[in-house]
A and B are shown apart, each in its own frame.
Chain A
């Protein structure tokens, strides 16, 4: 039992960014836009935060201020790139899967390209010190994630704005007819998901590693996407899914220290989130929990 409690901080460290991204993805799909670019947006946020932190740290800025600004920059650049997806999906009625894939591919290039230009290497320079844990051994990212979950739940379910946003994802035509600006709502949602994915990328890089490489994000954005489906598009469900998946990921890393688990290949834990999601999607098929207009372009005036 004490061992499990001892694992808790590292589980939280791994869960936090996945959860933050997943909440963003959930908000986005709630408004009717599917965002498979989460992976790429996380990479962009992570690279920005890592590079900004190295440069600011080197210039003698106080450590905490540097960390804070690095996170903010990651968040802003993530949001900036999500605007591309927003324009394509909302204004131009583009295929959302294609534009998402494009951003994912672009992120692979842009992040390492920027590192090559800034640091003359295929990765960012190592920073001296990332985030520090508090007295309980927990990184601040866990509290950020908690705040994001509570805020998203409050905004989506407790104030009219959230209801309007969800209406855009269920029946945009009806929403428009009662005076809701569907395009504006969807813009807010897509950019929020970019913001959160960028923030989460920064959280990954500043807690789990010392630099950004092409392997830093390594599928976390896709796990977040899985968590949205598995969590049935509800804040509580998504939180549960992210906890489950994050724990599985943590086990993949720490299973080596637990004799009983060493008999299994660590890859088994890596596979778990994906298999569980697939199984859940099959089991829950028929009962459709997804926002009914998710992924469909909305054309004003068309029935």
Chain B
């Protein structure tokens, strides 16, 4: 392997691109193997991304709006995962934090004071707070009681799912799957966006997402809090030795991590639906957020780009189904991408092998 290729494989960004391409490649082969035309998959992706329907040459900007709208929870859940990952924690609990955010936002929307602009702000804020609590608990359990965050977050996901059902079934007008409609003051729709994107569901949530991305970047790169967290992530003992409060660092970072996912839940509840949902299964944004963060290497920019990619995939699902491509191919591609990310540790092993070879050559051992 030449030097340039080696350099490329050492950069996180290019490895991510490679991993995504590999995922698509295997997905494409799979589609072809079952006798479908992979081209249709890419036509659907193009339409989902740009709104352009290559078959009849028509343009519909609604698809762009929907892709962006789908990206919002992916990016936020990616930030949630990424924030914890930076401290060396694996937050599989994004799903639970998202569900709690959604649930509380729905409750505040239906029961809160119907005052213009204050109402939705209160609902979103409550979603953020409950997300932070739901995540913070994991941090405390980890830091104080040494409970593995992987196990505790998985448990809390299901607690959140069923708790959400118990709560939502008590809300006004609740049936087995939905509640009464939200009052206007609770919604975060944006009439300007609706006008320019041909009535897509794109809403003010995208602004909140952008603020969240900036906050993420700022905390991570510019504050001593972020520094302490990253130090804890690199080497817990060294961080402790240099006076960084590790327990506090872990708890706070899990809380902030949960806040991002909670916000995602709030935005989806108030932006994409006009009524509260009584969920019987998980939306999956929290789980997919794991993949989003891993593809984006847990950086603000990378996670945003990866989130857009996942939003595009999700929006393309219905289009694919319309073109006789089973929409589950998008899940397969996402799963493959995560598996390939796990396998990238092989690159490190390969690098070590090369280094060893190099060293042996230098000292003249045959």
Interface residues of A (CB under 8 A from B): 34, 36, 84, 87-88, 92-95, 97-99, 101-110, 112-113, 116-117, 122, 215, 218-219, 222, 225-226, 229, 265, 267-268, 270-271, 273-275, 277-278, 281-282, 285-286, 288
Contacts and interface: CB of A to CB of B under 8 A. Distances in A.
Contacts of A215: 281
A136 B344 CA distance: 52
B192 interface: no
Contact of B342 (A98, A107, A265, A278): A98
Interface stretch (B58-66, B156-164, B265-273, B298-306): B156-164
B335 A107 contact: yes
A273 B288 CA distance: 25
A113 B328 contact: yes
B181 to A, nearest CB: 24
A103 B159 CA distance: 23
Contact of B335 (A109, A122, A270, A281): A109
Interface in B119-164: 141, 145-148, 150-152, 154-159, 162-163
Contact of A88 (B147, B330, B343): B343
Given A219-B158, A274-B156, A109 B291 contact: no
Given A98-B290, A226-B155, A278-B141, 14 more contacts: A93-B348, A99-B342, A101-B291, A102-B335, A102-B338, A106-B335, A112-B326, A113-B30, A116-B328, A122-B328, A222-B154, A267-B163, A281-B147, A282-B147
B331 A109 contact: yes
A107 B328 CA distance: 10
A116 B326 CA distance: 6
Contact of B326 (A84, A117, A265, A274): A117
A131 B328 CA distance: 29
Contacts of A94: 342-346
Contacts of A268: 162, 166
B34 interface: yes
Interface of B: 30, 34, 90, 92, 141, 145-148, 150-152, 154-159, 162-163, 165-166, 169, 281, 284, 287-288, 290-291, 294, 326, 328-346, 348-349
Given A97-B92, A103-B339, A109-B329, A265 B169 contact: yes
Contacts of B349: 92-93
A215 B279 CA distance: 13
A101 B290 contact: yes
A106 B332 contact: yes
19 contacts: A92-B349, A101-B291, A103-B335, A105-B335, A108-B331, A109-B330, A116-B326, A222-B155, A225-B151, A225-B154, A265-B166, A267-B165, A270-B158, A274-B155, A281-B141, A281-B145, A281-B148, A281-B151, A285-B145
Contacts of B340: 102
A113 B342 CA distance: 23
Nearest to A222: B154
Nearest to B138: A278
Contacts of B291: 101-102, 105
**Residue from A88, A103, A105, A110 with most neighbouring chain B CB atoms (10 Å):** A105
B287 A105 contact: yes
B246 to A, nearest CB: 17
A215 B161 CA distance: 14
B92 A282 contact: no
Among all A-B residue pairs, the 6 with the closest Cβ atoms: A106-B335, A109-B331, A102-B338, A109-B332, A99-B342, A116-B326
A186 to B, nearest CB: 16
A280 to B, nearest CB: 10
Nearest to B339: A102
B331 A274 contact: no
A271 B146 CA distance: 22
A148 B294 CA distance: 37
Contact of B339 (A88, A225, A270): A88
B345 A92 contact: yes
A105 B148 CA distance: 21
B162 A271 contact: yes
B335 A97 contact: no
Contacts of B154: 36, 222, 225-226
B116 to A, nearest CB: 35
Given A84-B339, A109-B329, A109-B335, A97 B150 contact: yes
B299 to A, nearest CB: 17
